[in-house]
Structures are given as structure tokens and as C-alpha cells.
Amino acid sequence: MRLSGRVALITGGSRGIGKATARIFAAEGAQVAITGRDDGRLQEAARELGVPGFAGDIRRSADVGSVVGRTMDRFGRIDILVNNAGIFPEVMPLHETPEEKWTEVIDVNLTGQFRYTKSVIPHMMEGGGCIINVSSDAGLRSFENFEADSYSAAKAAIIHLTRAWAVEYARYRIRVNCVCPGIVETDMTEPFLRTEADRAMAVAEHPIGRIGSPDDVARSILYFASEESSWVTGAVLPVDGGVSVK
């Protein structure tokens, strides 16, 4: 029970990596709240996991404040924030990308993480806490034929902000770390894994010989949330089957 007595708020908690993290955190003794924009799907996941789900749009500061406030009202504290929520854009070359599409991805995948971090940090400044950002291999390196520039830009910025926030808030005993998944089998990546040829190509990208599961990433997030990493802050961990070191 590595998280016994701890309270965790997980964004994008109704599916994929967020849902797997919520399940593992609860099994490790944490009190968990999940949030997402789709209230129907969120409440279905909340019932399955046995945790509260507080709906809110990460693009709206008022919604973010409401989710954090409801978590505080329910549990009285927030010890762990997992910045997991994100969207993937329609793949297209930069010169064909409409500005509104660029802005939407940056707003959700970068500014949304700023909104949640800004809202949660005051509740951690007295007793310390952990923030885990979910970035991507796309924030670590460029990939041929990966035409999702707004996504790459947001994920790279989150990596740098992880280090900046780690230094900025270390004096409050707030640790900030980051995981960078490769291709993980979720509903977000499902459109890219529809055929056997697509899947074989994705597997071939990973030296370890398979694509990831949500639990692969969730277990890494658990490490950063637990006391096992009590002397670790500002770390950026690829969880990608070796893609980033090719």
C-alpha cells in the first residue's frame, strides 16, 4: 500500500493511461478523484473504479478551479496531481494546419496542464506533494512522417516545464517529474493500429518488441508518486520500449 493515506487527482481519468493510473493508485491505498470533460464516460469509469468523478473542461479555468475545489471538499487535501489529459490532432503538414487546430491542441495539452498545476500547488505548499506530467516520446525527439507539430510542441514544453517547476517548488517539498510514453494501446491510438500492417509497423518501432499498455505507464507514474522516489524531482522518464534511444 505505497500510497496509503494519500489523495490523488488524475486528469483524463476516464480512459487509457489515466484510468489505469487511477486503478493502480486505488489498489495502493490512495484516495483518488478523476476528472474529464465527457461526464457520461467519466461517471461510468468512476463507478467501475469506485472513485468520485468530477467533470470539467480543462480549457476553462473556472472548471479547473471547480474540480480542484470539489476534490478538496471531498478529501480535505491533494497530495498527488497527475497531469494526464490530452488530445491528439488530425495529422497534417504544418503548412496545412489551421491556426484554430494548433491553438486547441496547445490549449488542452499545455495550457491545461498549467491550469491544473497552478490550481493545485497552493494546496501542496504547506505539506509537500507530487506532480507527475504525462508527456510523450514526441516531446523528446522528432519522428519521420509524424506530422503532428502542435502535439510535439506541447509535449516538449511539458518536459521543460517539469524541470522548471521542479526547481521552482522544491523548497516546498513539491516534487515534479515526467513520463514520456511511446505508442500505448488506448482509444487515442486505436485509429493508427487498425490493421495488422499498422500494428506490425508500430511494434517494429519499439526495440523491446511490443507496443505499450496503459498499465506500463501507470506503474511508472506510481513510482514517481510513491516514497520510493522521494529524492527524485525534475526527472524525465521515457516509458517507450526503447524508442527514444534508437
Residue 91 lies in a domain: yes
Residue 21 lies in a domain: yes
Strand pairing partners for 239?
181
Which residue type occupies 224? F
Pairwise CA distance, residues 42 & 34, whole Å? 8
- Tell me if 181 sits within 8 A of 212, measured CB to CB: yes
Residue 30 lies in a domain: yes
Return averaged pLDDT per consecutive 10 residues of the chain, 246 residues in all. Answer: 98 98 98 98 98 98 98 98 96 95 97 98 98 97 91 98 98 98 89 87 92 97 98 98 93
Backbone φ, ψ for residue 121 (5° rounding): -55, -45
Residue 61 lies in a domain: yes
Please choose, from the candidates 36, 79, 32, the residue with its C-alpha nearest in 3D space to the C-alpha of residue 54.
36
Pairwise CA distance, residues 75 & 78, whole Å? 8
Residue 124's domain comprises 7-184+217-231
Tell me, yes or no, if 172 is annotated catalytic: no
pTM of model > 0.95: yes
Residue 28 lies in a domain: yes
Residue 40 lies in a domain: yes
Q: What is the CATH number of the domain that holds 38?
A: 3.40.50.720
**How many domains in the chain?**
1
Catalytic residue among 116, 151, 169, 172: 151
pLDDT tens column, 164-174: 999 999 999 99
Please choose, from the candidates 22, 53, 19, the residue with its C-alpha nearest in 3D space to the C-alpha of residue 38.
53
Pairwise CA distance, residues 98 & 92, whole Å? 10
Pairwise CA distance, residues 8 & 31, whole Å? 6
Eight-class DSSP state of 37: S
Pairwise CA distance, residues 31 & 9, whole Å? 9
Pairwise CA distance, residues 99 & 115, whole Å? 22
Residue 245 lies in a domain: no
**Residue 126 neighbours by CB distance under 10 Å:** 10
pLDDT at position 214: 97
Strands of 135-229, DSSP E: 174-181
Question: Helices 112-124 & 149-169, crossing angle to 10 degrees?
Answer: 20
pLDDT at position 246: 86
pLDDT at position 194: 84
Residue 190 lies in a domain: no
